[in-house]
């Protein structure tokens, strides 16, 4: 038996080595093929002829920073997977370039693969579309499937809105929902130990309630109705239709559809939400009439990514002898290191230090798009920003769609804070959650016993005592005091004044400006200009984007799970696809759980993204 086990152990060791080498080989193989294919295609970029249509085919969600590494994106492209994210900056760059491009006459909004973005991102794109129209060029929107809330917002800003006659417009509004677990925990004898400070701090509510508290719900109603009213105002103005007519279509779709025998497309047409109903063939013929190609029966059209690659458009920001550094803080805030699309403390402070050590950098702009996360990681990042400020160089924070809780904490050290009009911010509060499983384990006959020299519970297999709970709550109270103290110190406010607008309450950008949490309402460009002004730079200053040092690090940090899913997909084994939504749900839940890595289990978190 001993001999057998030794041989079996050697076999497992050899198998493990082989598996690791095989994975490395597969990864390197795909990397090399991807590089070769990109080199090989560089000479085959499509040419743009006069009178072209730029197809703004936005894929997935609009983001400030991509959450996939360069390797993952190359892998996805090579294996034929669709991207699930599009950079806002890429969309803006394409529209602005096309506006002054004499070869481009039309902008097509192809929104069938567009999944959405928060109101601030949608407003930024809509602003560029309006600017494009001001140049005298036409914007056309089309959908084969129909328009949802974010899709129709952009489509409404087009000169013409087309839709397939089998489609429909279903605007389901803005939603902010959470899943609650109290009854689930009770059924499985799990004790949810929750610690929080802030009447409105709803982040931890799902662990000890089955429904939203009145305070949390009223706060959501307060800010979400502002966003929704703005949506109705902007869409009705863009379409030049009465706001009441738009609202009637949205809120009374059952009655509206009855009047046209359930034909949603016809209802949208009759009420002025769209201009033309046409199937795909009819719409293709229409585009061909507008922009025939030199090739027979081809449309003179180019996709957004091909357009950007073809023109080899210079980066939006160029560095000079004197620069304002731009650092993007997008995603959840976590301790340690992580991939792109996440604000990992160890990685992020390297970016700030790069800016600190760069003698050409005279000021720093922090673009924040985050609902927060780890309290400890937020403090580490804020400390590093304060060190930068001690060098005598100004910091300006520019808030994107969301800059709440930990996202606000890392913005607080800035000399000036800019927010967009509808930025979701505030949520100044702290919460922690520690589940214990003594009762659950006892149900299956597992018990823990022993002796400790200190009367403190450190095992999740033991129920927390009142003493334990007091210690955790005291620590949570202390972190909250540090939070409001940092805000008070940096915002020139008293502790009492900060506490009055804190307590975990969420604010919209304009209101946050009125109560002193932000200085000005403005765009990223406004923040950059302000940073240059504070640094007393001349007009010829540059903007230096501080990126992750080595894109290959993200490749090396690619999780084994992602390699597995992507490799199986490439081999034709569809483990991760739209038909297996339950698997995707588990994957998303696992990703969320792994982001909870604060060393003390305390979080500055705001789940205030719209759905």
Q: What is the pLDDT of residues 285-298, one digit of tens each?
A: 999 999 998 888 89
User: Which helix (H) or strand (E) covers residue 604, if one does?
Assistant: strand 602-605
C-beta pairs of 573-577 under 8 Å, 24+ apart in sequence: none
One CATH from 3.40.50.1860, 3.30.559.10, 3.90.226.10, 3.40.50.300 for 323-559+597-605? 3.90.226.10
**Tens of pLDDT, residues 73-128:** 555 555 555 668 899 999 999 999 999 999 999 999 999 999 999 999 999 999 99
C-beta pairs of 277-280 under 8 Å, 24+ apart in sequence: 277/162, 277/163, 277/164, 277/165, 278/162, 278/163, 278/164, 278/165, 279/164, 279/165, 279/166, 280/144, 280/164
Residues 351-382 as b/e (b if ≥16 CB within 10 A, e otherwise) read bbebbbeeeebbbbbbbbbbbbbbbbbbbbbb
User: Which helix (H) or strand (E) covers residue 453, if one does?
Assistant: none
Q: Answer whether residue 20 shows pLDDT above 80.
A: no
Q: Answer whether residue 22 shows pLDDT above 70.
A: no
CA–CA distance, 403 with 340 (Å, rounded to integer): 18
Q: Answer whether residue 43 shows pLDDT above 90.
A: no
Residue 104 and residue 136 in contact, taking contact as beta carbons nearer than 8 Å? no
Structure tokens, 187:
């059924």
Binned at pLDDT 50, 70 and 90, residue 572 comes out as low
Binned at pLDDT 50, 70 and 90, residue 337 comes out as confident
Q: Answer whether residue 494 shows pLDDT above 60.
A: yes
More confident residue, 331 or 339: 331
CA–CA distance, 229 with 242 (Å, rounded to integer): 14
Residue 143 β-bridge partners: 163
CA–CA distance, 134 with 119 (Å, rounded to integer): 22
Q: Residues 235, 610, 89, 369: is their CA dihedral positive or negative?
A: positive
Residue 548 and residue 324 in contact, taking contact as beta carbons nearer than 8 Å? no
CA-based end-to-end distance of the chain = 59
CA–CA distance, 253 with 246 (Å, rounded to integer): 10
Give residue 560's pLDDT.
45
Give residue 201's pLDDT.
86
Q: Do domains 48-169+274-311 and 323-559+597-605 have the same CATH topology?
A: yes
Q: What is the DSSP letter of 47?
A: P
Residue 91 and residue 58 in contact, taking contact as beta carbons nearer than 8 Å? yes
Percent of the chain at pLDDT above 70?
81
Instruction: Please classify residue 435 by burial: count the beta carbons closer than 10 Å to its beta carbon, then call 0-12 exposed, 13-18 middle and 19+ buried.
Output: middle
Binned at pLDDT 50, 70 and 90, residue 498 comes out as very high
Residue 303 and residue 48 in contact, taking contact as beta carbons nearer than 8 Å? no
Give residue 535's pLDDT.
96
Residue 55 β-bridge partners: 108, 303
Binned at pLDDT 50, 70 and 90, residue 15 comes out as low
Give residue 200's pLDDT.
85
**Tens of pLDDT, residues 195-208:** 889 888 888 898 88
Structure tokens, 171:
């605007």
CA–CA distance, 210 with 258 (Å, rounded to integer): 37
Give residue 552's pLDDT.
45
CATH architecture, domain defined by 48-169+274-311: Alpha-Beta Complex (3.90)
The number of beta carbons lying within 10 Å of the beta carbon of residue 182 is: 16
Determine which of 69-83, 325-339, 420-434 has the lowest per-residue pLDDT on average.
69-83
Give residue 12's pLDDT.
45
Mean pLDDT, the chain, integer: 85
Q: Answer whether residue 478 shows pLDDT above 80.
A: yes
Residues 249-275 as b/e (b if ≥16 CB within 10 A, e otherwise) read bbeebeebbeeeeebbbbbbbebbbbe
More confident residue, 99 or 605: 99
Residue 327 β-bridge partners: 366
Structure tokens, 572:
């034709």
Binned at pLDDT 50, 70 and 90, residue 453 comes out as confident
Determine which of 40-49, 124-133, 516-525 has the lowest per-residue pLDDT on average.
40-49
The number of beta carbons lying within 10 Å of the beta carbon of residue 325 is: 28
Q: Residues 487-493: what's their mean pLDDT?
A: 94
| Region class of 273: left (phi > 0), else alpha (psi between -120 and 50), else beta | alpha
Residue 413 and residue 395 in contact, taking contact as beta carbons nearer than 8 Å? yes
Binned at pLDDT 50, 70 and 90, residue 29 comes out as low
Give residue 236's pLDDT.
97
Residue 323 β-bridge partners: 361, 542
Is the model's pTM score more than 0.75?
yes
* Annotated domain spans of the chain: 48-169+274-311, 323-559+597-605
User: Which helix (H) or strand (E) covers residue 273, if one does?
Assistant: none
């Amino acid at each position: 038996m001993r001999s057998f086990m030794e041989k079996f152990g050697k076999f497992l060791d050899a198998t493990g080595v082989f598996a690791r080498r095989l994975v490395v080989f597969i990864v390197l193989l795909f990397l090399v093929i991807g590089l070769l294919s990109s080199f090989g295609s560089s000479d085959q970029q499509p040419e743009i002829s006069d009178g072209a249509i730029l197809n703004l085919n936005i894929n997935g969600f609009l983001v400030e920073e991509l959450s996939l590494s360069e390797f993952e994106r190359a892998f996805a492209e090579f294996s034929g997977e669709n991207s699930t994210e599009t950079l806002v900056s890429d969309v803006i760059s394409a529209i602005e370039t096309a506006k002054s491009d004499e070869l481009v006459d039309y902008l097509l909004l192809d929104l069938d693969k567009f999944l959405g973005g928060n109101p601030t991102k949608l407003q930024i794109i809509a602003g560029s579309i309006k600017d494009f129209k001001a140049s005298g060029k036409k914007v056309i929107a089309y959908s084969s499937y129909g328009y949802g809330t974010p899709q129709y917002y952009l489509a409404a800003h087009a000169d013409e809105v087309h839709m397939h006659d089998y489609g429909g417009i279903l605007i389901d509004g803005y939603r902010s929902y959470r899943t609650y677990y109290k009854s689930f925990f009770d059924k499985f004898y799990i004790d949810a130990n929750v610690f929080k400070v802030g009447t409105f701090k709803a982040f931890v509510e799902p662990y000890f309630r089955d429904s939203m508290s009145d305070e949390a719900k009223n706060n959501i109603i307060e800010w979400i109705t502002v966003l929704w009213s703005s949506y109705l105002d902007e869409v009705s103005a863009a379409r030049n239709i009465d706001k009441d007519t738009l609202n009637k279509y949205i809120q009374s779709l059952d009655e509206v559809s009855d009047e046209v025998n359930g034909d949603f497309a016809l209802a949208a047409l009759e009420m002025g939400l769209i201009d033309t109903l046409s199937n795909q063939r009819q719409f293709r013929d229409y585009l061909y009439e507008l922009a025939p190609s030199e090739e027979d029966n081809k449309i003179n059209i180019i996709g957004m990514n091909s357009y950007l690659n073809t023109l080899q458009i210079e980066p939006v920001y160029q560095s000079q002898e004197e620069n304002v550094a731009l650092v993007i803080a997008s995603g959840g805030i976590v301790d340690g290191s992580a991939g792109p699309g996440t604000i990992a403390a160890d990685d992020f402070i390297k970016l700030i230090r790069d800016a600190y050590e760069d003698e050409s950098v005279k000021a720093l702009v922090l673009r924040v798009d985050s609902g927060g996360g780890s309290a400890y990681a937020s403090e580490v990042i804020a400390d590093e920003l304060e060190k930068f400020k001690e060098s005598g160089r100004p910091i300006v924070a520019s808030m994107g769609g969301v800059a709440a809780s930990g996202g606000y904490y890392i913005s607080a050290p800035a000399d000036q804070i800019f927010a967009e009009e509808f930025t979701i911010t505030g949520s100044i509060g702290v919460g922690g959650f520690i589940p214990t499983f003594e009762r659950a384990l006892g149900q299956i006959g597992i018990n823990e016993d022993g002796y400790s020299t200190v009367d403190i519970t450190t095992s999740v297999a033991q129920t927390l005592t009142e003493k334990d709970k007091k210690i955790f709550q005291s620590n949570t109270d202390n972190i909250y005091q540090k939070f409001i103290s940092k805000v008070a110190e940096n915002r020139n406010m008293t502790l009492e004044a900060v506490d009055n607008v804190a307590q975990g309450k969420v604010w919209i950008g304009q209101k946050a400006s009125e109560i002193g949490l932000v200085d000005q309402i403005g765009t990223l460009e406004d923040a950059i200009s302000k940073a240059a002004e504070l640094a007393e730079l001349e007009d010829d200053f540059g903007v230096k984007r501080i990126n992750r040092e080595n894109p290959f690090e993200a490749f090396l940090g690619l999780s084994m799970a992602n390699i597995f899913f992507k490799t199986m997909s490439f081999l034709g084994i569809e483990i991760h696809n739209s038909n297996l939504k339950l698997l995707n749900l588990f994957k998303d839940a696992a990703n969320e759980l792994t982001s909870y890595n604060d060393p003390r289990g305390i979080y500055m978190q705001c789940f205030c993204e719209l759905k």
